[in-house]
A and B are shown apart, each in its own frame.
Chain A
Amino acid sequence: MELGSYSDQSKSTFSLADEDHTLANAVRFTLNQDPRVTFCGYSIPHPSDNRVNIRVQTTGDPAREVLKDACQDLMLMCQHVRSTFDKSVNDFKMSKTVKDMDIK
């Protein structure tokens, strides 16, 4: 859910249901990396409410697009983390089997 104004789309608050610090803090990180962002932050209005508000203010681009790009960035980072991790685990397993064979 987006809370902003029609006349100025460069400032908006996005209210995400069923999310918490896990996503909001990570997205805040990628938002902060975007030079188009002048301000971003998040808050959880009430701890027993499953909801997080993310505030995005930009230099002019629509806040919605900038947030979408931030999520996209985060997703690509995750994919890179996953492939790098899988590769190192495989390398480790390989080196271990080689070592085991040496002992025998």
Chain B
Amino acid sequence: MSSSEDESMSEVDEQEEQEKKTKSEGSVLDYIMSLESVPSKLPPHLDLMRTRVFCNNDAPDHTETIQYSGAYAALGVDNSIRLDKFCRNFKVQVNRLTEDDIEFDMMGIDPALANAFRRILIAEVPTMAIERVYIANNTSVIQDEVLSHRLGLIPIKADPRLFEYPENAGNDKNEKNTIVFKLHVQCEKGHPRITVKSNELKWLPDGSELPAEDVKPNSGSKPRTFTSFSCSQDSLPEFSTNPIAPKNLDIILAKLGPGQEIELETHAVKGIGKTHAKWSPVATAWYRMLPEVVLLKEVKDELAEELKNKCPVGVFDIEDIEKGRRRATVANPRACTLCRECIRGGKEWEDRVSLRRVKDHFIFNVESTGSLPPEVLFTEAVKILEEKCERVITELS
């Protein structure tokens, strides 16, 4: 070590000493709190109750989250999660990401927030869905209203962020708030029955082709239709390379017998899942808390074998210890489904295995229906919660 480094080290020491002095001169409370006999952390059993759900044989225990910042004030322990602490502890880890599916771990977050994200994903992130169906002809066995309902539920591959809510435009159905599809299928007489699938829905980037009812066909140069597009949607850069279509092209809509025909036009608009589930952008959005399996006692030999066989998903494994003896280990607690099979079979098993869940560790799953990739859906959901807060703040100011 060089001499200059030595000097700087001693300087630091001096500073520390000074700090110590000023600290000891500080308030009496600080001094008391610094004593070793005063706990700065919760006693282990309380901490366990705070951070874990116990899944006992009869019922889960300590399921509540202790949110109140002063819950442990009598013990001198601060239970608050202010912003800086949250930022330090919060972690995300992505485990799987495919085109329409994501699984990630969220650590260090309260269920109140995790659940808010889940609720927003299901009910408040907008998508485009078919809202109006104009049926020109339907001689198939499926009724108009049932067919319309089926059409409504088809996920549409169109970024909802590029569209506006129809309420904002009044009665105006323009290229910014409406997507038009047409469907015309016919089963010729003497041919076998055919199945109509969602790939028959043809996007009309120029808007509706059906003349509005109140206009006589020969009145103008261009007959008025149900929409008033000022330009073609496929001239817009967002859609010219990425045409709008149903996300899945093999959804069965109807079956036609010989001589039957369906001719219709549909208009898709932007909406949210709260209004109708067809606008929900996710097939499922769910989370579970991380399971934690703890062996309270050593489980050996035949018992270890028994324990391993009890678990249907293979949480336990067996390792060899000295001289042909074996011991059970927890190899894969994440797979635990909490079926509680391992603690069934008497009190002695309950004393051997403890099943718990970590309260602030969520395994989050989002399955998109296809309008947006799942990772974008989640960020959109977080943004919506931010907007809600902003709205309250402006309302109160």
Write the residues of chain A forming the contact surface with B, with a CB cutoff of 8 angstroms.
2, 14, 16, 19, 21-23, 25-29, 32-35, 37, 64, 67-68, 71-82, 84-89, 91-93, 96
Contacts and interface: CB of A to CB of B under 8 A. Distances in A.
Given A32-B67, A68-B397, A89-B97, A84 B389 contact: no
Interface stretch (B110-118, B159-167, B258-266, B289-297): B110-118
Given A22-B124, A80-B90, 13 more contacts: A19-B388, A21-B119, A22-B120, A25-B112, A26-B385, A29-B113, A33-B80, A33-B82, A34-B80, A35-B69, A71-B390, A73-B82, A88-B93
B70 to A, nearest CB: 7
Given A33-B82, A72-B393, A85-B379, A22 B87 contact: no
A93 B69 contact: no
Contact of B81 (A26, A33, A37, A89): A33
Contacts of B86: 77, 80
Would you list the 10 A-B pairs with minimal beta carbon distance, nearest first? Answer: A29-B112, A92-B94, A32-B67, A71-B389, A75-B389, A88-B92, A26-B116, A22-B119, A78-B386, A82-B382
Contacts of B109: 81
Given A67-B392, A67-B396, A72-B393, A92 B382 contact: no
Nearest to A75: B389
Contacts of B392: 16, 19, 23, 27, 67-68, 71
B95 to A, nearest CB: 8
Contacts of B81: 33
* B contact residues, range: 35 or more
Contacts of A33: 67, 69, 80-82
A74 B83 CA distance: 9
B396 A68 contact: yes
B239 interface: no
A90 to B, nearest CB: 9
Contact of B94 (A25, A67, A79, A89): A89
Contacts of B385: 22-23, 26, 74, 78
Contacts of B378: 85
A22 B392 CA distance: 13
Given A19-B388, A77-B86, A78-B385, A34 B69 contact: yes
B390 A75 contact: yes
Contacts of A67: 392, 396
Interface in B47-91: 67-70, 80-83, 86-87, 90-91
Contacts of A81: 90, 92, 109, 113, 382
B375 interface: yes
Please indicate which of the listed interface residues A25, A27, A29, A79 has the most CB atoms of chain B within 10 Å of its own CB. Answer: A29
20 contacts: A16-B395, A22-B385, A23-B385, A25-B115, A26-B112, A27-B389, A29-B113, A33-B81, A68-B392, A71-B389, A72-B393, A78-B389, A80-B87, A80-B90, A81-B90, A81-B382, A82-B386, A85-B375, A85-B379, A89-B97
B23 interface: no
Nearest to A2: B396
Contact of B116 (A22, A80, A93): A22
Contacts of B383: 78, 82
A9 B203 CA distance: 58
A76 B393 CA distance: 13
Given A25-B116, A32-B68, A76-B83, A85 B110 contact: no
B104 interface: yes
Nearest to A23: B388
B396 A14 contact: yes
B382 A35 contact: no
Nearest to A1: B395
A89 B91 CA distance: 12
B287 to A, nearest CB: 14
Contact of B92 (A25, A37, A85): A85
Nearest to A54: B392
Interface string B322-343: 0000000000000000000000
A73 B83 contact: yes
Contacts of B388: 19, 22-23
A77 B113 contact: yes
A37 B87 CA distance: 22
A102 to B, nearest CB: 18
A35 B81 CA distance: 11
Contacts of A77: 83, 86, 113
